[in-house]
Amino acid sequence: MTGSLGKSVVLWSVVACGLVILSAPTLVVLGASFTAGNIIAFPPEGLSLKWYSRIAGAGDLWNAFQRSLYVAFVCTLAAIPVGTLAGIALAKYAVRPERTIQVYLLLPFTIPLIGSGIGLMLLFGDLRLLGQLWPVGIACCVINLPFMIWAVMASASALDPELELAAASCGAPPLSTFLHVTLPAVVPGVISGSLLMFILALNEFLVSLLLVDARIVTLPVHIYNSIRSIITPDLAAISVVFIACAAAAVLLLDRLVGLEIFLKSK
């Protein structure tokens, strides 16, 4: 009698619990950023936008944010051609050691970031690239590339192979077939992968920490440095800006290609 009611009460409580746990950090930071007081606290003491005006006027923060944007652009620009081609190749062709390549693609996740960070630091040090910003973008691209590849693979494996045969029978040589048929079909995957790469690079902390020096800190590293001295509510305000960036990317993604493909990309 009450069995189904009981079941739905339990289910909904679990869902509500999950939602609260997932969103709690965001809500706390959001609340704390609007505090009128001088120390970071939740619930906030009063409401004001003063910490937002403070960060808007802070030149060092803006510079760090712009550097983070630059890193994210470099990372995305590098990831688009590499990830697109690799994703199409893995989805379409019987690449010989396919399993090996899949495992290799997982390496960035299985190796702790601190490990890859140190490796990249040594490598870039040998190449005398440390102290510049663009190698940080490349490093972010290297460690997050699997996301790009998977997003493209999801699109490419949904591509009907007969489309490429049809292009050939229309007289299209292989390169034209690729440009006119294969590439347009994977564009949704490329868009979702690119936005993901952009956000991941924008937020990337640990690897950046190892690769930047004091003159070229990115925003997450800047925040970290600030936390070590004194925790003020402007950090919460910065975090909210970050969250807003991520939310904007997700909305953009939904607008451009719909979220389904993003959610399907493993």
Partner 1 sequence: MERMKPAFRQPQAAEDRQAAVSVRGVSMVYDGVHAVRDASFDLAQGKFLTILGPSGSGKTTLLRLIAGFLEPTSGEIFINGRAVSAVPPHRRSIGMVFQKLALFPHMTAAQNVAFPLKMRRRDARTIPERVERYLELVRLGGLGGRRVHELSGGQQQRVAIARALVFEPDLLLLDEPLAALDRKLREEMQLEFRRIQRQLGVTTINVTHDQREALVVSDEVIVMEAGMIEQNASPLDTYRAPATSFVANFLGVTNRLSGVVTSLDGDRIGLLAGDHLMVGAAAGPGGSLQIGARASAAIRAEQIRISPDLFALSGLETVLSGTVSDVIFEGDRVVYEILTVLPETGPLRVFDHDVGSRRQYRAGDAVHLGWNARDLFVYKADPEPAATKPDRGD
59 lies in the binding site for partner 1 (CB under 8 A): no
171 lies in the binding site for partner 1 (CB under 8 A): yes
Region binding partner 1 by CB under 8 A among candidate stretches 47-55, 169-177, 214-222, 244-252: 169-177
Do 237 and 54 contact (CB within 8 A), yes or no? yes
> Where does residue 259 fall: left (phi above 0), alpha (psi -120 to 50 degrees), or beta otherwise?
alpha
138 versus 163: smaller Cβ distance to partner 1: 163
58 versus 185: smaller Cβ distance to partner 1: 185
Query: Could you tell me the smallest distance in angstroms from the CB atom of residue 89 to partner 1?
Result: 20
Instruction: State the Cα–Cα distance between residues 46 and 57, nearest whole angstrom.
Output: 22
Query: Could you tell me the smallest distance in angstroms from the CB atom of residue 77 to partner 1?
Result: 24
What is the maximum alpha-carbon separation in the chain? 73
Amino acid occupying residue 158: A
Instruction: State the Cα–Cα distance between residues 240 and 26, nearest whole angstrom.
Output: 8
97 versus 173: smaller Cβ distance to partner 1: 173
Instruction: State the Cα–Cα distance between residues 145 and 139, nearest whole angstrom.
Output: 10
> Where does residue 94 fall: left (phi above 0), alpha (psi -120 to 50 degrees), or beta otherwise?
beta
Per-residue binding letters, 119-158, with partner 1 (x by CB under 8 A): ----------------------------------------
Instruction: State the Cα–Cα distance between residues 150 and 266, nearest whole angstrom.
Output: 7
Footprint on residues 179-198 left by partner 1 (CB under 8 A): 180-181, 184-185
- Which of 24, 27, 123, 170 touches partner 1 (CB under 8 A)? 170
- Which of 41, 121, 142, 168 touches partner 1 (CB under 8 A)? 168
- Which of 176, 256, 258, 259 touches partner 1 (CB under 8 A)? 176
What is the phi/psi pair of residue 20, to 5°? -60, -45
142 versus 185: smaller Cβ distance to partner 1: 185
Burial class (CB in 10 A: 0-12, 13-18, 19+), 119: middle
Residues that bind partner 1 (CB under 8 A): 160, 162-163, 165-174, 176-177, 180-181, 184-185
